[in-house]
Amino acid sequence: MPSVREIRLKSRPSGLPTHDNFELATVELAAPGAGEVQVQNLWMTVDPYMRGRMNDVKSYAPPFQLGRVMDGGAIGQVVASNDPSLSVGDLVQSGFGWREGFNAPASAMQKLNPGKLPIQTFLGAAGMPGLTAYAGLLKVAALKDGDVVFVSGAAGAVGAMVCQIAKAKGHTVIGSAGGADKVAYLKSIGVDHVIDYKAEKNLNAALAAAAPDGIDVYFDNVGGAHLEAALNSAKMFARFAICGMISIYNATAPEPGPSNLAQLIGKNIRMEGFIVSHHFGMMPQYIAELSQWVADGKVSWKETVFEGIEKAPDAFIGLFKGENLGKMLVKLT
């Protein structure tokens, strides 16, 4: 009967989460029951959307419960099986993250066949963040030939894939990120114009200079001032895929929206929010395209890795401080 550690929600944060909001606990795992398997998690993911789940507010994902484990995406390995569909040694993808191990029905997880890809890729470029970039660009923003694409949070797990997919398809790409390392990274993957928003005094002017003829597509991971600048630089019939607004996730008081929304009218701008779960049907098509881009050297990715379940809160809090280059991950073994 192994003992495993897990992270629980101790208290709900006001503003940026702190260590006080998390609690490390140890639980003993019984043998898996009928139809269950026991899984040792190898990798877990932390993602910005989890901040919303720390509030006691109904949204598309249910809120985390106080005193209970914070669940989320993970890659693990079956270490004991009481179900014929999974064998010891099988790799599985599950939603039982923020813990070193667990028992769960075999039906609640997905067997993973990673092929040539490192397994943690399925939490990033070949997983939800990658598909978010792909579906957001191609379906929500309806990317078409000749579009100039602006991406905020461009060095993050989603943003870096947006940049590379757009480049692979031949577009001019403008990416915004904060800090010299991220700027250098974005230039290294072929982004045409990189805006260091932390160094820029005037984001509107910086975007106008990078896109003198305007932008056709804006992929928003940030909201706030970036959204305002995108509206100012939008061409007629621009499409905005609204994926995230990390700039306001930790706001303790209502954060006003951009003052220039009336530009939607004269420019006939379409602004559409989305969450990736409504686009899971595009996954096979995405993986097929991704495999080709990887083989052609057109798409790569970065990971920022924290080691050990006890570091999961640091990894998570780091997302809101911009500490990650590419996908933020926690390695559990």
Among 278, 285, 292, 300, binds its own copies (CB under 8 A): 278
Q: Of 227, 287, 315, 329, which lies in the binding site for its own copies, with binding defined by CB under 8 A?
A: 227
* Separation in Å, CA 52 to CA 9, 38, 125: 13, 29, 22
Task: Report the residue number, 99 or 239, with the smaller CB distance to its own copies.
Answer: 239
The single-letter code of the amino acid at 178 is G
Alpha carbons 71 and 108: distance in angstroms, whole number = 13
Query: CB atoms < 10 A from the CB of 260, how many?
Result: 15
> If binding is defined by CB under 8 A, does position 16 make contact with its own copies?
no
- If one asks whether residue 127 binds its own copies (CB under 8 A), the answer comes out as no
Q: Compute the distance between CA of residue 88 and CA of residue 122 in angstroms, rounded to an integer.
A: 20
Verify binding: residue 258, its own copies, rule CB under 8 A: yes
* 65 CB neighbour count, 10 Å cutoff: 13
Nearer to its own copies, 97 or 223 (CB): 223
Which of 74, 104, 177, 243 touches its own copies (CB under 8 A)?
243
Task: Kindly tell me which residue out of 261, 285, 292, 300 binds its own copies, with binding defined by CB under 8 A.
Answer: 261
Residue with smaller CB distance to its own copies, 208 or 248:
248
Does 274 help bind its own copies (rule: CB under 8 A)?
yes
Cα separation values, 200 from 138, 160, 179, 313, 324, Å: 30, 20, 11, 30, 20
Based on CB atoms, which residue is closest to its own copies, 170 or 254? 254
Q: Which stretch binds its own copies (CB under 8 A): 90-98, 101-109, 143-151, 250-258?
A: 250-258
DSSP string, 126-174: TSHHHHHHHHIIIIIS---TT-EEEESSTTBHHHHHHHHHHHHTT-EEE
Using CB under 8 A, which residues numbered 47 to 106 contact its own copies? 52, 59-60
Among 244, 316, 324, 332, binds its own copies (CB under 8 A): 244
CB nearer its own copies, residue 34 or residue 262: 262
Cβ proximity to its own copies: between 255 and 310 the closer is: 255
Q: Does 208 bind its own copies (CB under 8 A)?
A: no
To its own copies, the closest distance from the beta carbon of 192 in angstroms equals 26
Q: Which of 200, 210, 222, 202 is nearest to 154 (CA)?
A: 222
* Pairwise CA distance, residues 101 & 160, whole Å: 31
Site membership for its own copies, residue 35 (CB under 8 A): no
Q: Which residues contact 111 (CB under 8 A, 6 or more apart)?
A: 85, 86, 90, 91, 92, 93
Which residues of this protein are in contact with its own copies, per CB under 8 A?
52, 59-60, 223, 227, 242-245, 248-249, 254-275, 278
